[in-house]
Structure formats: structure tokens, C-alpha cells
């Protein structure tokens, strides 16, 4: 079932989505070569708990193999669901950080990919285009449209126009009292297909786009998703309210981008605004 959220629920989800934004902003300030991804996770978990939240992801998933950390940290060819570890970040890495914040019975869920130092131009372009595709998808998140309108917008801007791989096995989703709710929101599809959107639905829209082919595999840990060809993969995600005329982001990239610009260790070459729709 797809929930239509009332004003009170939407405001709780908005606050939590903005706490994810605040967490990712702290991550943006913290990132530099030479630190482990586990240290980023520890910092973020403390930030989440100090702000009265519960990290949604920690303990999420099947009994016996629940996700072990507060952040999913996915470096380079890791698409999503990477475990924070003793991996040491180095110049030229890209790092996708996904975070959930749970408070007052609802979740925020959003993600951002950062570039550390000398990242190659094709990867910076992939980052820029993936974020643009997310925004184009969000424009379609309006009352009366269908899920496929979001899916088509994302696929068209990434795979069709730029020849990138669109990961198909993982999708966006409704988000609210549960981390993953109906409907599924694939990043590929046909216009006018799928479930009808109504104002008040809350969606996590999250393109996972690869520089090479779209094929992926899951590592032996049961979580970490990696590109088969070893090429880089990028992930941007917003918690978005379906509106009457367009989607409204409850999470916010603005503070994260500002922190990126103020951190000399980060490459902001992907922040150029040159949308080509
Ligand atoms: Mg997420
Ligand atoms: Mg999500």
C-alpha cells in the first residue's frame, strides 16, 4: 500500500531528511585522503545520536546478516551498501555516502557522492549528470503522473543521452514509517507506466549510475554491490514529497555543496550547472 502522508507526518519526515542532510554535511567537512571509512561512520553515528536520532541502517536487514553500520559507504566501483571499514581514502577516490535518520517514528533517507582530490573528468561528468537526472526525475514527482515518468526522466538523461549504465536491480522507494515502502521507483522505465502518483506521497528517488556497463554483483558479505566491469558508480538520493506541480525535496543538497566548496580536499568539478534536458 502507498501512504499519503498528512501535514504532521510530512513535517516529521522533513526534519529527519534535513538531519540526514546535516549528517552528510558533517561528512563533507570531514572527508580527506588518509582517513578510514570506518572513522567517517563513527563520526556520523555520534552526530546522529547526539541529535536524538537513531541511525536507520544500523541493524537493518535479515537476522544474522543485518547491516553493521550507520552509513553505507561505497567507494569507486562499489555501487551501494558498502561497509565502512579500515579502507583508507586516497586521492582520486569517489565515495558515495548513504544515510538514514529515524526519529519520532519516521525516517529520512538520502545520499551523496563526493570526489576526493584528482578525480578524472569522465567521473566528474558522471556525477554531474547523475545529479541532474535526479532533479529531472523529481520534476516528474507530481500529482497525476506515474512512477514511470520519474523512471523515464532518469534513464533518458543518463543511459540514453550519455550512454551510462543504469543499475536495475536496485530501485528508489516510498519512505516514511518504514525505510522501504511502496511504491518501488526504478531508474529506468516507460513514460505513463506504473503506479499513479498522488500529492502527499513521500519517495526516496535515487539513481545509481555507472560509467561503464550496468551489470553488478553482490559480494560475499551479502550486501556490497559492485560493478562487474570495475568502473566507477555514482549515487545521489533525495527524500521527496510528491506535490501538485513537481516534487518538493525534503532533504537538501545546498548545505552539503557549500561544505564541499569549503573543503579544499574535495573536488567540486562536478558542481558546474549545465543541465541539458
Ligand atoms: Mg538511501
Ligand atoms: Mg533509499
Domains of the chain: 7-271 (3.90.230.10)
Separation of CA 117 and ligand 2 centre (Å):
27
What's the start-to-end Cα distance of the chain, in Å? 33
pLDDT given for residue 274 in this prediction: 59
Separation of CA 156 and ligand 1 centre (Å):
22
Ion ligand 1 — residues with CB < 5 Å: 98, 109, 111, 237
> Which ligand is the nearest neighbour of the Cα of 57?
1
Task: Report the distance separating Cα 5 and Cα 106, nearest Å.
Answer: 11
Task: Report the distance separating Cα 44 and Cα 55, nearest Å.
Answer: 9
pLDDT given for residue 272 in this prediction: 81
What mean pLDDT comes out for the span 24-46?
A: 98
Q: Please provide the average confidence, as pLDDT, over all residues in the chain.
A: 97
Separation of CA 16 and ligand 2 centre (Å):
14
pLDDT given for residue 15 in this prediction: 98
Over the stretch 117-144, which tens digit does the pLDDT of each residue have? 999 999 999 999 999 999 999 999 999 9
Separation of CA 162 and ligand 1 centre (Å):
24
3 state DSSP class of 250: coil
217 Rama class: left (phi>0) / alpha (psi -120 to 50) / beta: beta
Tell me the whole-structure pTM to 2 decimals.
Answer: 0.97
Separation of CA 272 and ligand 2 centre (Å):
25
Task: Report the distance separating Cα 36 and Cα 3, nearest Å.
Answer: 39
pLDDT given for residue 275 in this prediction: 56
Task: Report the distance separating Cα 97 and Cα 148, nearest Å.
Answer: 26
Is the omega angle on the peptide bond into residue 53 within 30 degrees of 0, that is, cis? no
Task: Report the distance separating Cα 24 and Cα 113, nearest Å.
Answer: 10
Cell of 32: 580527506
Over the stretch 159-170, which tens digit does the pLDDT of each residue have? 999 999 999 999
Separation of CA 172 and ligand 2 centre (Å):
6
Separation of CA 186 and ligand 1 centre (Å):
14
Other residues' Cβ atoms within 10 Å of the Cβ of residue 52: 10
Amino acid at each position: 500500500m502507498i501512504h499519503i502522508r498528512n501535514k504532521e507526518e510530512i513535517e516529521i519526515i522533513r526534519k529527519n531528511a534535513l538531519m540526514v542532510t546535516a549528517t552528510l554535511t558533517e561528512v563533507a567537512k570531514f572527508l580527506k585522503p588518509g582517513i578510514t571509512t570506518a572513522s567517517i561512520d563513527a563520526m556520523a553515528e555520534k552526530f546522529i545520536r547526539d541529535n536524538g536520532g537513531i541511525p536507520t541502517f544500523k541493524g537493518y536487514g535479515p537476522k544474522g546478516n543485518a547491516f553493521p553500520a550507520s552509513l553505507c559507504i561505497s567507494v569507486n566501483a562499489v555501487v551501494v551498501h558498502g561497509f565502512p571499514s579500515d579502507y583508507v581514502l586516497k586521492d582520486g577516490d569517489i565515495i558515495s555516502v548513504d544515510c538514514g535518520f529515524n526519529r519520532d517514528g519516521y525516517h529520512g533517507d538520502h545520499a551523496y557522492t563526493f570526489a576526493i582530490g584528482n578525480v578524472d573528468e569522465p567521473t566528474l561528468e558522471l556525477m554531474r549528470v547523475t545529479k541532474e537526472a535526479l532533479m529531472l526525475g523529481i520534476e516528474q514527482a507530481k500529482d497525476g503522473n506515474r512512477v514511470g515518468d520519474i523512471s523515464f526522466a532518469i534513464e533518458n538523461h543518463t543511459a540514453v543521452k550519455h550512454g551510462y549504465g543504469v543499475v536495475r536491480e536496485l530501485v528508489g522507494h516510498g519512505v516514511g514509517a518504514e525505510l522501504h515502502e511502496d511504491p518501488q521507483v526504478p531508474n529506468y522505465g516507460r513514460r505513463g507506466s506504473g503506479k499513479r502518483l498522488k500529492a502527499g506521497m513521500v519517495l526516496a528517488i535515487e539513481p545509481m549510475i555507472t560509467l561503464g556497463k550496468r551489470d553488478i554483483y553482490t559480494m560475499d558479505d551479502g550486501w556490497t554491490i559492485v560493478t562487474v566491469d570495475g568502473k566507477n558508480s555514482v549515487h545521489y538520493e533525495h527524500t521527496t514529497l510528491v506535490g501538485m506541480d513537481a516534487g518538493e525535496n525534503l532533504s537538501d543538497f545546498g548545505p552539503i555543496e557549500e561544505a564541499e566548496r569549503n573543503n579544499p580536499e574535495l573536488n567540486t568539478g562536478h558542481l558546474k550547472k549545465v543541465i541539458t534536458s
